[in-house]
Chains A and B, each alone.
Chain A
Amino acid sequence: MPIVLVFIEQRDGKIKRASLEALSKGAELAQGGKVVAVLIGNNISALAENLGKYGATKVAVFEHELLARYAPTAFAKLVVKVTKEEAATLVLLAATAMGKDLAPRLGARLGAGVVSDAIDIKEDNGKLIAKRYAYSGKAIATVALESEMKIFSIRPNSFPVKESHSGTPEIVVSNYNPETADLRDVVKEIVASAGKLDVAEADIVVSGGRGLRDPKGDGKQNWENLERLAQVLGGAVGASRAVVDAHWRPHSEQVGQTGKVVSPKLYIACGISGAVQHLAGMSSSKVIVAINKDKDAPIFQVADYGIVGTVEEVLPQLIEEFKKVVSHN
């Protein structure tokens, strides 16, 4: 059984759920063996103990005020240090903005093969075989790593979080003093889009397309309704490429081939016809709802439920109906 290392991402003292998904999977692949979690930041050691219930047997914590924000070179150096000290041969991390940035750096430093955005990892005759989307969701690749050192970043929402362990992990807190060169690419500042849930991380995504029309013109009310619906459901707003290219919505919301590939538990497509490149980005959602006035729109081919109607008519009704159910829960 491999010694497994899991990089735990925290931002503002909050651990990312996708990191707990990675840790749960790491504990499963360790088959009762050692699972080392690495936690880097400032004033974060209190988060370490809780990682035991997801399967961490040891937590290596590095704290320094200069590590409060992401510092790619320093983070890579620390994760590599622990990987070597612990003789880990399998590294897992969440395929978030940070994880996707870190994984190839670790791969280069450790001489490891790297699988990005895995949606499944299985052992097969002593080999680890992963599945991942390719061609932006239009195909699924089955990939094997041949190297001794193996790194997988896992796609958020693809593996369950399992609180199945009871042991208390060994916690080692180190006060690491970064050298100047380690901070050559440290994040100076974070500009948050206020209170916005990212479309790639949300459980529920409500997306709008060209059918909602220009938000600076006659589509204003439709977009307000779409945002209201996302808010009622506690979800994120997504957008089709057409509306991003028209500058109606920011690119960070784009779902599809040149945007984000999402797999929420509920995806509601409003006024989106369903171009191939959009379908590639959302077909793996667990439940898909389509609202479109054109009954022949391709989006209905992938939808679990559909309503044929205009967004002007349907969106306000949906807000009212969802409100009833959400407030009952």
Chain B
Amino acid sequence: MNLAVCLNQVPDTSARIKIAPDGKGIDSAGVTYVINPYDEFALEEALKLKEKFGGLVTVFSVGDDSFQQNIRKALAMGADKAVLIKSPIKDAGDVAYVLSEAIKAHFGGMPDAIFLGKESTDFNDAQVGAMLAEIFDVPCVSVVVALETDGKTARLEREIEGGKEIIEVAFPFVLTAQKGLNMPRVPNMKGIMAAKSKPIEIQEIPLKAASKSIVLNLDKPPQKQAGKIVASAAELVNLLHTEAKVI
């Protein structure tokens, strides 16, 4: 089974975000970048399929050389190969396009499946998975919390408001992973050593069309002022009723 996993790197969840002086991005000084947590669930699921059915897991990332460290971690977890794509991407449509080009070039078309996170915790667009599926004209099941498969068809559960949807699809397909799908493994020493000799191919892919979405600026959300400490439940409920008027 040939599986593609798309990985982004994002600031560690505990990081405090500082806006860069140009007001369009974040100040990356002192920020630790990790594999996007949702992409890590996607990678773990792909590795589980590889262990069950054989085959290769290839990781695709769009970014600069700072991604190499996190790509090495993915290789240490058990991915076989990696492609790092350098491209002047600006929006999710650009990312989907360059990923699809790299995946096509690598596999000669659509692999058996493409796994990625349900969204990236930096821009939270939640768009790339479904866009990739549209480019390859295959089904996409998003926000997946469970996968069962015999290698030909798959039964997936996706999280919706107040419940789950059950979907059955035939391979090939795109899956976007939600927390709860699995517990990603921690690389062991053998994996870390093996990763050192695994190839990371660098590709430069230009965009074929203008980006459709432009970030004009980034701000910190308005800071809340610390409020009133009240002495009793009765007083609190009274204030919520008469002052805040929310109940």
Contact = CB atoms under 8 A, between A and B. Distances in A.
B236 A307 contact: yes
B236 to A, nearest CB: 6
Interface residues of A, number: 95
B212 A185 contact: no
- Among B14, B38, B160, B180, find the residue whose CB has the most chain A CB atoms closer than 10 A: B160
A266 B240 contact: yes
Contacts of A133: 124, 221
A197 B162 contact: yes
Interface string A257-288: 11101000110000000011100000110111
B226 interface: yes
Interface stretch (B55-63, B90-98, B196-204): B90-98
Determine chain B's interface SS by DSSP, over half rule. mixed
Determine chain A's interface SS by DSSP, over half rule. mixed
Given A251-B179, A301-B226, A189 B166 contact: yes
A200 interface: yes
A322 B247 contact: yes
A28 to B, nearest CB: 21
A318 B210 CA distance: 55
26 contacts: A72-B140, A73-B139, A107-B131, A112-B212, A115-B213, A117-B124, A133-B124, A134-B124, A135-B26, A135-B121, A135-B122, A138-B17, A139-B221, A140-B221, A143-B214, A184-B170, A187-B165, A191-B164, A200-B161, A258-B37, A276-B13, A287-B240, A305-B228, A306-B229, A325-B237, A325-B247
Interface of A: 69-70, 72-73, 76, 96-98, 100-101, 103-105, 107-109, 112-117, 129, 132-147, 184-193, 196-198, 200-201, 204, 233, 250-252, 254, 257-259, 261, 265-266, 275-277, 283-284, 286-289, 295, 300-308, 314, 317-318, 320-322, 324-326, 329
